[in-house]
Structure 1
Amino acid sequence: MDKQRTTLGVLTLLPLAAACGTQTAGNGPARAETAPLTGVHWTVDSLTTDGKTARAPSGAYLRIGADGRVSGDLGCNGFGSKAVLTGDRVEFGEIRTTDMACEKGPMSFERSLGRVLADEGAFTARTDGGGLTLTAADGDRIGLTREDDAPLLGTKWTVTALGDENVSRPLPKGADAYFVLREDGTFEGRLGCNHASGRATVSDGHITLGRVRTTRMMCQDSLMKTEKTLLGLFDSKVAYRLDHRGIALTSENGTVVGAVADE
């Protein structure tokens, strides 16, 4: 699915118009009895409103954290919210989205899904194997499927962006950067230009990277600049955060590396 940004730079979270007049959910943590719903990447499969079912565009999903924080994608734009979970009931607070324009189909689905999440009040949650159905009081419902996170070890993680906690920029054209963490405590990959390898130890949400060995090729300036940034991660400890098929590495000096799992 093609997404076209309407503005450059960091996307600002904006209140969804459909959320006006709705009550923001409380800030309390998710209840223990709804734990199976939390910490899971739920891919949105379909939305049924007024008896008509629409298939979701690729990439639509939601994830509810153990603290009730909600993140996801409505079909075009990313969104955030807060959820209160009580028994088999789920209620979403104000929906806040990024501000991108997409093709007509995804945008239409996004508007419908955003309205349902914001306006329907509490949903009844029903799980069946790897599926989840959220049903509103008026019968509108959202069909979702559980998707497991990509494993940290053995996955080829392709680097897509560099930045810090405030700004994320895509890699320059032609940059080939990826890494694979092995179960034997080693890593291999490429830094934008040169191949790299070394030691990597995973523990308690961190990866300790040893000294790096690289090939000695020279590439264009933009690729070498990317490589220099990535070299700064080595011989140090970086924090990592997995989110379905994505990973973020944060260095001790605040550099953030975004990567996605290869299919």
Structure 2
Amino acid sequence: MRRTMTTLAISIFAITLAAAATAAEPDAPAPASTFTVQLEGLRWTLTDYRSADGLSQVWPKSRPPRFSFQDGSFSGSTGCNRITGSYRLDGSILTIGKGLAATQMGCPAPLMAQEKAVIQALRRVATVHRKGATLELHDSADEVLLRFSLPQRTPLTGHTWKLESYDNGSAALTTPIPGSEITLKLDGEDRLSGHDGCNAYMSGYSLSGDALAFGPIATTRMACRGGPERAEQAGRYAAALTQAASYQLQGQELTILDANGKPMARFTSEATSSAQAATP
């Protein structure tokens, strides 16, 4: 009987110690939540890239360097050629696949240097960070390699701008040939389009504050029905646009300025032009 009581007491004592030890142990930490950076389903515009000279701004005359990430595949532009590849995203850890493919178009030297630096930066990406409308890709040392932004809202979009006057190389603004109907549209995603009086044209643009730059102008190749004068006008209009460095907007009037602040082209909103034409 005594042996039974002793065994029972020891058992109770052991259970008591185990319960006390369990109560004294801290709760196990909850698994850390994984937060995945939201970069998919958006069109990111490259603004800065790292080269041997440090972090540099994208050349303003480049084509719109936009990137899209979706379901493990990305595509974009270096400002010259299109580039595609694969990626894996785990929280903020971003791994770019080794197999990058690009078109092989030749571009001006500054663009080719930019393209080389962008591709080299992509191969070194380790993490991704987003703050509002800004996206950054960092290397393993947490140094910024590539910086992107979402297209900014601007009063320049949502309009068809009709050319009222432009610099045709004579150091003064002149009106277009009657009936030319030269137009300009900016779509809010760094793409522009319009009609130069002969052909449809398109390009890219970069916008930061009141700084505005257009990329190389590409046009359709239809014969100009207006004759050689209109064809010459179209070429001079394109030359004026490519000198853009900033803009002024007063009401419904848009003025494109060169690097010295000289007006290169002046437009009015087509809706305003129509209203003025209808005024008796």
TM-score, normalised to structure 2's length?
0.40
Q: Which has the larger radius of gyration?
A: 2
| Higher strand fraction (1 or 2) | 1
TM-score, with structure 1 as normaliser: 0.42
* Structure (1 or 2) with the greater helix fraction: 2
